[in-house]
A and B are shown apart, each in its own frame.
Chain A
């Protein structure tokens, strides 16, 4: 940019990214600025980063769609069968138009094919109730109302931020019970993002901020910097070091200053800070920085008594950065002293930074300054030129020391991770941090155990062989693949992590650079092969650590896993803006209400205050939601099937004339009033296993993994059950009606009585079937189940008790009351209800527990369930019903097998 002023040489200034005012920026140190809008509309970062928050659909919804297709086929085939049979049947003489049922002239004139078509459509209308339209309403209600339980859960309330969980979408409740992969951010998610200056090391001497003296590793201990009893670096070095900490940062103080900061304070990874920075002396404590590490460092320096006060004459170049970037720039003989400390600190889980300095003479400074200015002004390759200048200046520096900042783990991070792994969930840590730090966090979180064999695929391992990276990558991938996939014992279906110590656990580490090599390999074919190898390795590892990730790479990884074989359900959890892309990408995105702003929370599906809440969210809420909605879906299909099957069968007995079996009121009310409330209550309140047990036994989560309750097996079971019940209802009443004189006064029953008896059996059976499945009877369940049945009775009396003026036909007039006056009708109703439910009861009693954990389940569920509950009503003798029923009988089967 050229600046023209009156009668002056045009000044040239550089414009760089630092001159961009980003959205939401506020003017601080100046009254006004002039600006030009550069990126507008769709070119803005916001628009470019907008991933088009695609509709997230849960696996349950996909299952519903598949089932719906099956039922559509059933519907169409039923209509087709009836239409075909109708015309076959009518071909027999005397059947088409008996004298007592003459057709109107119009009917006689209608084209045969048109008649066939209208017949087909009529059958479709007659059987359309098989498609559970009301299920969608109920599912939506269940999801909406059910999600309140997450918001209401007081365990999710965090007294620190005074907030509980937040539900942004209620569509994915059940998906929480299906998670197979958890992608977690490290900083702020696994760790608190609450940096604390722990120790520093100056010239190889270790200083630790402590109140009490203590020996440490034979190295020097500082009880505050003032104490100089023992071996120490020289005071000069100490001062230099602390001065570096004071100066070399981007920390801004909260109070507005009018000083014109001439030289841009560089970013974390930048190095140059001139010491001649005018900085007003500060008394306050408000520090703002782009990186929380720096705040911690400055605060740490302040504790040592160093605050920035004034200017000095010498020009010093201070440089602060990760060990990998500092070590090459300093004299090698200094490195060894520090390296040991840095590495020890890194393995302890601290974030380390190294500090180096260099004296600059006046010319050198001027030269560097000019070089920089020139580089900034260049229009092409500005970055490269800048880096060259920096590199020129930052050579031959002398290392003063290193700092260690602790980023503490979140509360119960390790317990949560352990529970997730116990639940068969694979945890991937995706972080921008460096490998050592991330690795130590993983160890601290128990994601990597002591016996876990780590497979590293990083730039460092790639460079080991001294060969081309590509080749080395290929070689390593094959080697790891052999180790982790081929040599691994075949994993039993559904169980991905074994508990026995015999099998080796693998952990996988990859860094961003290598990942991009894997994903964007030069040739197309090797790329997909690498990707496959990489995925297979990762899937056989218990945990995977991806470090040095760009935000977009995080999303890439999530996408890759999401689209891999078996399309596993993924969950991303993060707290910062850099996690947004992966939160949006994963099936379920969870935001942590952390310190890095609200971005993640706003883009997430669920937001929780702390990582530890994830355990309850998945293991308890997710599990229950899944079981509830799965049962709801199956039950809805079932109840509509056995509702409409008798109507279908009736067509065979009424000359395929589309005569409905049930009265119109019953047809409409069945799904709306008579059978909807109990299932809704069930789907909101059911706890087949109580929460405490679910939380204590994370393995229970595996029982519902892979959409276990909505696969074709259970669907077939429910469908067959529906068919069985439908057949039973219809033919049971049909044999009763072989003699329609069912009353003791010899009078006979007609077709509406027939339908009403079937319908009564139906309503009672489906309601009682649900009652049988209910394991958790709250007063609400009692109320709606018995209330529904009572309402049915009441409605039937009422509906049949009055001549309704708006009805053309009084079809049900006193039909219900007459039915109840017949002993035979009572007996057949009781008989059919019991006969429908008895096999169910037998099945429950005889069912063997499934899965390898059944025994463990028994042992863990039973003793603990009786102890764990504070509530007297709760838990004791509780059964996980649908999943693995351990009744005394089936328990014996189990014993026998062993």
Chain B
């Protein structure tokens, strides 16, 4: 008995795992699987590609560069050094009506919102409404943490400081009649940004939270609590334009949502009154406005549709090649 027990103790377990005999599935990429697979994937991709392409084509986009570099551009006068409160009018006409909600973007190019130093130059605790950080902003905000009088800046940092401050008014010109097109600024920022990530201090009126020895960002004309005088819920850190700006763009050429035009734009002549404040020429930047409607896939983007079509056709093509190879080498032999 003793001997047997000893033998059993030393003998390795005879389990599937220890003997490397776990039941296993051995997939094999054979022509019989790959060719139909490629055909299916190809067809699916072509289908998606066609849908994407058509959708993207149906999206209307109007884009105007208003930087004012060229002599004949309407905002050329505003680009001078000493021009303040300059307003220029960009006239355009629409031949095909924009249906559905029209989104009004502003775009900047050669603007690096993704600089590392720039992108950390904010204080999330401040922006979360924590009033203790109003007095001592994070060092990451430097050099926009304190002003020259050593007063803390709220909201601190480069991002807030460089907030886009051109404003636009869109007029529909119908003969001599000028109608202001209503622009909706609600819901242009992420819902979570507006409701959770950014918060105003729970002090009413909001002004009092800021007045305690804080100053507005240096480049701002108005303090944070007066960003939108028409809507008190759109002020402070949860101002929609501020939130849109604070979500930094990924690439140096970007567009950000400015307003929505819920009723669309019918055919007609329009004039966009631009109050030109934001300097971009010093770094060879460009400014533009974009009117676009969106679809289920978002804004106009031809890349996706074309990519799907190309890949889809390549898959189908490859499956045909494989089929030919397969037929050529298989069928004669089977005879």
Contact = CB atoms under 8 A, between A and B. Distances in A.
A16 interface: no
A874 B23 CA distance: 7
Interface string B7-47: 10011111000111111111111111010001001000100
B190 interface: yes
B192 A814 contact: yes
Contact of B29 (A152, A751, A844): A844
Contacts of A691: 20
A733 to B, nearest CB: 9
Contact of B115 (A101, A742, A808, A809): A101
Nearest to A155: B19
Interface string B296-317: 1111110110011001000100
B19 A152 contact: yes
A888 B31 contact: yes
A776 B124 contact: no
B284 interface: yes
B158 A746 contact: no
B22 A780 contact: yes
Contact of A887 (B12, B31, B122, B255): B31
Central interface residue in B128, B292, B318, by most chain A CB within 10 Å: B318
Contacts of A94: 282-284
Contact of A892 (B253, B298, B330): B330
A827 B282 contact: no
A760 interface: no
Nearest to A165: B12
B250 interface: yes
A741 B292 contact: yes
Contacts of A786: none
A125 to B, nearest CB: 12
A889 B28 contact: no
A822 B250 CA distance: 16
Contacts of B251: 653, 734, 737, 740, 754
A95 B284 CA distance: 9
B113 interface: yes
A655 B115 contact: yes
B119 to A, nearest CB: 6
B216 interface: no
Contacts of B21: 871, 874
A879 B31 CA distance: 13
Interface residues of B, number: 101
Contacts of B279: 99
A820 to B, nearest CB: 13
A104 interface: yes
Contacts of B20: 149, 153, 685, 687, 691
Contacts of A863: none
A132 B263 CA distance: 55
A528 interface: no
A396 interface: no
Contacts of B249: 740, 748, 750-751
Contacts of B140: 808
Contact of B118 (A100, A164, A660, A747): A100
Contacts of A888: 30-32, 326, 330
Given A824-B297, A831-B304, A747 B188 contact: yes
B23 A871 contact: yes
Contact of B7 (A159, A878, A893): A159
A778 B118 contact: no
A895 B333 contact: yes
B23 to A, nearest CB: 4
Interface string A795-825: 0000000010001111001100010001110
A751 to B, nearest CB: 4
A735 interface: yes
Interface string A845-876: 11000000000000000000000000111111
Interface string B114-125: 111111111011
Nearest to A865: B26
B86 to A, nearest CB: 18
A164 B333 contact: no
A844 B26 CA distance: 15
B161 to A, nearest CB: 7
Contacts of B34: 841, 845
Contact of B138 (A95, A778, A808): A808
Given A779-B22, A831-B308, A102 B14 contact: no
A777 to B, nearest CB: 4
B283 A654 contact: no
A842 B252 contact: no
A738 B301 contact: yes
A101 B326 contact: no
A153 B329 CA distance: 43
Contact of A659 (B114, B260, B300): B114
B26 A777 contact: yes
B224 interface: no
B142 interface: yes
B24 A687 contact: yes
Interface in A153-208: 153-154, 156-157, 159, 162-164
Contact of A100 (B6, B162, B189, B329): B162
A824 B301 CA distance: 9
Contacts of B28: 877-879, 887
B325 interface: yes
B322 A845 contact: yes
B103 interface: yes
A707 interface: no
Interface string A44-56: 0000000000000
A98 interface: yes
B108 to A, nearest CB: 10
B247 interface: yes
Contacts of B97: none
Nearest to A659: B116
Nearest to B119: A659
A743 interface: yes
Interface string A443-463: 000000000000000000000
B248 interface: yes
A838 interface: yes
Interface in B272-288: 279, 282-284
B1 interface: no
Given A657-B117, A803-B197, A827 B297 contact: yes
B308 A157 contact: no
A607 B101 CA distance: 77
Contacts of B122: 809
B48 interface: yes
Contacts of B119: 659, 751
Given A101-B121, A742-B297, A748-B249, 16 more contacts: A151-B12, A154-B12, A163-B10, A164-B12, A657-B115, A685-B24, A735-B307, A736-B303, A740-B255, A750-B248, A751-B114, A807-B124, A824-B301, A838-B318, A873-B25, A889-B325
26 contacts: A94-B282, A101-B121, A151-B12, A154-B18, A162-B7, A654-B115, A657-B115, A657-B116, A659-B116, A744-B294, A744-B295, A747-B189, A748-B254, A749-B250, A754-B251, A778-B22, A814-B190, A814-B197, A841-B34, A873-B24, A874-B21, A876-B26, A887-B31, A888-B32, A895-B333, A896-B329
Interface of A: 93-95, 98-105, 148-149, 151-154, 156-157, 159, 162-164, 653-655, 657-660, 685, 687, 691, 732, 734-751, 753-755, 775-781, 803, 807-810, 813-814, 818, 822-824, 827-828, 831, 834-835, 838, 841-842, 844-846, 871-879, 887-889, 892-893, 895-896
**Smallest CB-CB A-B distances: 3 pairs:** A892-B329, A100-B162, A741-B299
